[in-house]
Amino acid sequence: MEAARKQDMPPPGGYKKIPFARVPPKTYMTGFQMFAAYGTVTTIGMYIYYLNAKVVKREDIEMRSAQNVIFPVLIAERDREFLKQLRRNRDEEAKLMANVKGWEVGTWYGEPIYKTIPKDKLMPPTYHEFFIHSDSKTQYNRANVKMWS
């Protein structure tokens, strides 16, 4: 016995249409509105930048003025510390060579080291002469510091 065959047919009224047409996106702004928004945002941004640039310039001038004011004080303090270290070196030399007969501080057994230079002129010591009586760690640490002036 053979079963009756039934053909698959479309529903009554047919199938729905297949959507294949392009669906354009929803427009929120027109071209003119977009240019107007760009111009507005740019103008506001430029104004805020201008206000900020004024503040930055004013603070920069203030910082440079402060640096110009304090620079001579820092130089004077550096020179003062330099002379104090020279004094410490002379005192240490006097204490170290106290038992040596004929030794005068700042000379070589009474003879001046620099014969062509007046006695009241300061000859700056070399790096190693300056740190001669300090510990080696201080000398090595200072050797790696960039000189400021």
Of all residues in the chain, the percent with pLDDT exceeding 70 is 97
Q: Which residues of 65-96 are buried (b: 16+ CB within 10 A; e: fewer)?
A: eeeeeeeeeeeeeeeeeeeeeeeebeeebeee
- Name which residue leads in pLDDT, 120 or 60: 60
pLDDT at 78 over 60: yes
**Res 147 pLDDT > 60:** no
The angle at the Cα of 30, spanning 24 to 34, to the nearest 5 degrees, equals 120
> What confidence score (pLDDT) does residue 149 get?
43
pLDDT tens by residue, 21-69 = 998 889 999 999 999 999 999 999 999 999 999 999 999 999 999 999 9
